[in-house]
Amino acid sequence: MIKVGLLGCGTVGGGVIQLLRANAAYIAARVGAPIDVARVLVRDPAKERVAELDRARLTTDPEAVLGDASLDVIVEVMGGVDPARAHLTRAIEAGKQIVTANKMLLALHGSELLERSQKRGVDLAFEGAVGGGIPVIRVLRDALASDTIAGLAGIVNGTSNYILTRMRQDGLSFEAALAEAQQKGYAEADPSLDVDGGDAAHKLVVLAMLAFGARLDGVSVATEGIRGVSPIDHAFAERFGYLVKHLAIAKHRAAGLELRVHPALVAKDSPLANINGVLNAISIEGRALGPCLLSGRGAGDLPTAVSVVADLVDVAIAKKGGVAGLATRAIRLAPAILAPMGDVEARYYFRFSVYDRPGVLARITGALGERGVSIEQLVQQGRGTTDVPVDVVMLTHEAKESAVQAALTAIGASDDVAKPPRMIRVH
């Protein structure tokens, strides 16, 4: 018998209980022993839970789980940094095998927890932390162990992708689409982590840690969310042959690691453009392999439970086979520096809300041109007046981020525009 302590029994924890019950015989045959979720830590014991849960195992006392010497594995699906970090630190020191889906904790303290696990000879497995049910952690950690990674780009927040898709395809408001994502169990307990890009940034740090062997605990990733993407941006993007997606991008550059999270225009015929709804996708560029695309459901109870239970099966097999800690020891981390965001080179989409006055366009293109930002296409929608603004949208050639930011600051400060310019990078 492999005995498990489950920290948290919400969306993901409930999925874990359901999946373990549904596939109990198959999983037991694979592990060579049945898996028993012996203790379950929650906040509110009175809350309704999945039917498969034996409620007698619920506790609100962390000591009842962490102090139970009979447990082999601790599965953390409670979220947040505190007290999850302290609970996992204690469990590692007690020699437990660990599974977590907590990307925030991993982005802020992952290297620390991994190194602690390596010293103690236990496994810290975290497939559920990125991409929901997509096995991207295993691919980076194991399947691509013989290659080095030049970069990766992905749609890694299911909630944001769901919202962007529902707004574009079905004309839903941002608020209505977010409410649906929450109801389906995709969103974080604090959904601003989804829509403001923090969750994608956490996942990017976890991916970059594995892809580049980088110790990145607590690094600050340039992050923008999807709140500023309006229906008119979707319409203009389509007119230019693109769709707006929320991307997490990591590149290995001579100057350091480039890590950024933001909405991006993605060519309509590219694979990432066709990843809709709650689906996630991660495109990895191996130096020997070339491009590799992984996609699947990126959030929700059962897809995430597939990853968490797969980790549980792995760490249980390792424990039974006397090789606990072996898989985690293979992860090597070294200090890394981040390349400055100002050095990023990309093409850009701008939307200016301009008053229709003589010379306005010349002044805007002049402010861009002075800084070396050259226009590839320009569209004016309708006709404004000297008092009623009109949207003017531009696509640029390749330009440097620092030059673009300087030009947008100057244009935004002029009385030619009614509100700050909207900028979306082209991927």
Provide CB contacts within 8 A for 74, sequence distance 6+.
4, 5, 7, 65, 66, 87, 88, 91, 96, 97, 98, 99
CA angle 194-183-265, nearest 5°? 40
Give residue 99's identity as a one-letter amino acid code. Answer: V
Closer CB to ligand HSE, 191 or 421, in the complex: 191
Please list every residue from 127 through 156 that binds ligand NAP, using CB under 6 A. Answer: 128, 132
| 189 lines the binding site for ligand NAP (CB under 6 A) | yes
Burial readout 405-426 (b: 16 or more C-beta within 10 A, e: otherwise)? ebbbebbeeeebbeeebbbbbb
| 18 lines the binding site for ligand NAP (CB under 6 A) | no
How many CB atoms are located within 10 Å of the residue 358 CB? Answer: 7
| Residue 324 Cβ vs ligand HSE, minimum distance, rounded to whole Å | 26
| Residue 71 Cβ vs ligand HSE, minimum distance, rounded to whole Å | 25
Paired tokens of 288: 């020997």
Distance (Å, whole) CA 181 – CA 159: 6
Packing angle of the helix pair 84-93, 103-120 (nearest 10 deg): 10
Write the binding mask 264 to 303 for ligand NAP: x where contact by CB under 6 A, - elsewhere. -----------------------------------xx---
Closer CB to ligand NAP, 41 or 155, in the complex: 41
Which position among 102, 117, 118, 160 is part of the footprint of ligand NAP (CB under 6 A)? 102
Residue 159 interface partner, choices ligand HSE, ligand NAP, none, CB cut-off 5-8 Å depending on type: ligand HSE
| Annotation says 203 is catalytic | yes
Which position among 110, 151, 154, 185 is part of the footprint of ligand NAP (CB under 6 A)? 185
Which position among 5, 132, 286, 384 is part of the footprint of ligand HSE (CB under 6 A)? 132
Provide CB contacts within 8 A for 323, sequence distance 6+.
none
Distance (Å, whole) CA 200 – CA 412: 28
* Nearest residue relative to ligand NAP (C-beta): 10
Closer CB to ligand HSE, 186 or 349, in the complex: 186
Q: Which of 103, 203, 245, 319 is catalytic?
A: 203
Residue 77 interface partner, choices ligand NAP, ligand HSE, none, CB cut-off 5-8 Å depending on type: ligand NAP
Closer CB to ligand NAP, 61 or 370, in the complex: 61
Burial readout 196-225 (b: 16 or more C-beta within 10 A, e: otherwise)? bbbbbbbbbbbbbbbbbebbbbebebbbbb
Q: Which stretch binds ligand NAP (CB under 6 A): 42-50, 107-115, 162-170, 339-347?
A: 42-50
**For 378, phi and psi rounded to 5 degrees?**
-145, 135
Please list every residue from 69 through 88 that binds ligand NAP, using CB under 6 A. Answer: 77-79, 83
Distance (Å, whole) CA 75 – CA 96: 10
Closer CB to ligand NAP, 130 or 172, in the complex: 130
Which position among 22, 29, 47, 419 is part of the footprint of ligand NAP (CB under 6 A)? 47
Closer CB to ligand HSE, 308 or 367, in the complex: 308
Query: Are 357 and 387 contacting, i.e. CB atoms less than 8 angstroms apart?
Result: no
**Closest listed residue to residue 214, CA positions, set 140, 264, 269:** 140
Write the binding mask 183 to 202 for ligand HSE: x where contact by CB under 6 A, - elsewhere. ---xxx-----x----x---
| Residue 187 Cβ vs ligand NAP, minimum distance, rounded to whole Å | 7
| Residue 4 Cβ vs ligand NAP, minimum distance, rounded to whole Å | 15
Distance (Å, whole) CA 334 – CA 217: 11
| Residue 334 Cβ vs ligand HSE, minimum distance, rounded to whole Å | 27
Distance (Å, whole) CA 133 – CA 302: 8
| 11 lines the binding site for ligand NAP (CB under 6 A) | yes
| Residue 171 Cβ vs ligand NAP, minimum distance, rounded to whole Å | 25
Paired tokens of 144: 């691509």
Closer CB to ligand NAP, 2 or 193, in the complex: 193
Q: Which stretch binds ligand NAP (CB under 6 A): 21-29, 41-49, 91-99, 234-242?
A: 41-49
Active site residues: 203
Q: Which residues bind ligand NAP (CB under 6 A)?
A: 8-13, 41-44, 47, 77-79, 83, 101-103, 128, 132, 185-186, 188-189, 299-300, 304
Residues that bind ligand HSE (CB under 6 A): 132, 157-159, 186-188, 194, 199, 298-299
